[in-house]
Amino acid sequence: MSQDALTRYLDCIAACNACVVSCQHCAASCLQEPDVKAMARCIALDMDCAQLCQVSVALMAGASELAPALCKVCAQACRACGEECARHPMDHCQQCAEACQRCAQACEQMAA
């Protein structure tokens, strides 16, 4: 693996790990909101996004040939989660939206 490829992996792995933490925090915080039902889609997307990011990290860490394909799906999940989180004014949702945007960009670069 070239140094450029390794750097690309490491940047994407870092973005995915940050996104996992942010999504898990967001989901847990959403469960504490007064109207949890209104946060159901946000929570579901947080969980989906976190899981896809975790699997993407595992495949990238192992230099799997499937990593780029999964990163493409991960980017889609991050975009959906980020858009949903951006709709909510709470700090945890806004921070999650930012982490998802960064991760989506990194995953899109990996998938290219």
Q: Which two tokens stand for residue 65?
A: 């040939």
Q: What is the pTM of this model?
A: 0.93
pLDDT in tens, 18-38: 999 999 999 999 999 999 999
Separation of alpha carbons 48 and 55, rounded Å: 11
Indicate the CATH number for domain 3-111. Answer: 1.20.1270.360
Q: How many Å separate Cα 105 from the centre of its chain?
A: 10
Query: Which of these ranges, 43-52, 55-64, 80-89, 94-103, has the smallest mean pLDDT?
Result: 55-64
Separation of alpha carbons 58 and 32, rounded Å: 30
Separation of alpha carbons 101 and 15, rounded Å: 10
